[in-house]
Amino acid sequence: MSTLYPLKFKTIFKDKIWGGHKIETYLHKDFGDLPNCGETWEISGVKSDVSVVANGELEGESLADLLEKYQDQLVGKKVYDHFGNIFPLLVKFIDANDDLSIQVHPNDELAKKRHNSFGKTEMWYVIEADPGSTLITGFNQPVSEQIYLNKFNSGNLMDILNREDVSAGDVYFLPAGRVHTIGKGLLIAEIQQTSDITYRIYDFDRVDDKGHKRELHTEEALAAIDYNFYLEYKTKYQPEKNVDVHLVTCPYFTTNIMDFTENTSKDYSGLDSFVIHVCVEGEYVIEADGKQYPVKMGECILLPKTINAVELKTTNGFKILESYIE
């Protein structure tokens, strides 16, 4: 078998009714003949869209094949024991040229029962935000299923949803069950469980190019929604240069942000997990086992478990989201 090394994957582009052109104009990723691009899937183990290696001697191999072949060498023993041959995280960039539908994702228990799938807990990092951009996350007051249904059926659902003003650098953690939508004008990096299950609650009565409305999942959503009210929805963190800053820890992933203007080294030997870097600003070079792997804004790279130490070298600085499973 080949020796594992830092892996890049071919981007999977997704045309969406609400998509725009920032994937191309801001992240410099060419989505070809698509009319727009709402999402890119950068690292995916979802069966319908499995990522394919784009660099080195394993180029052309799928992530699923690598996982079957390398097992815990790729993802770590604890991760492999738990998830087997399913890669546990999905990494996306999302360009909302219009509001996404108001939606909710089921938790593991409900997703297993209904779809034989994982649930979908996720986090968002806002890369760029047009002036006045907003998003919705959770409720703005305590509600019950009955209050929710009354508002939904009377066409007043927006009255009870929590809308937030958004700026670049904001972070939101969205556990499964939280009603949410990404608002118009936002470019976001998303890290989530490997799942593509979405219950669409409301879609602003939009129609596609054939005049059809998208399917809603009104009944399915009821059992999935977390009706609790929370005082804080945005993740609080203190930005700092040249140190790792912790953002999110949950059973599914831990994510830190690294905003560096200088070279640094990372020792991952104590971690029983793969590591993913999502570059959201600048560029750098990873040095591992004597070889160099350039990474620039809009790119992601997967560091297999077998890589214990890396050097990150930069000329003009970088900002990356660093994720793994603890």
Which residues are tagged catalytic? 200
Q: Which residue has tokens 């990494």?
A: 91
- Alpha helix ranges (H) inside the chain: 22-25, 63-70, 72-75, 77-83, 108-115, 145-153, 218-224
Q: Token pair for residue 248?
A: 């999110």
Give the DSSP letter string of 196-228.
---EEEE-TT-B-TTSPBPP--HHHHHHH----
Q: Can you say how many angstroms the Cα of residue 271 is from the centroid of all Cα atoms in its chain?
A: 21
CA–CA separation, 193 and 294 (whole Å): 27
Helices in 105-210 by DSSP H: which ranges?
108-115, 145-153
Nearest to 39 by CA among 29, 48, 47: 29
Helix, strand or coil, per DSSP, at residue 88: coil
Write the CB contacts of 320 (distance below 8 Å, at least 6 apart in sequence). 257, 258, 277, 278, 279, 280, 284, 295
How does DSSP classify residue 116? S
Q: Is the separation of the CB atoms in 312 and 318 below 8 Å?
A: yes
CA 275 to chain centre: 14
Distance separating alpha carbons of residues 47 and 190, to the nearest angstrom: 19
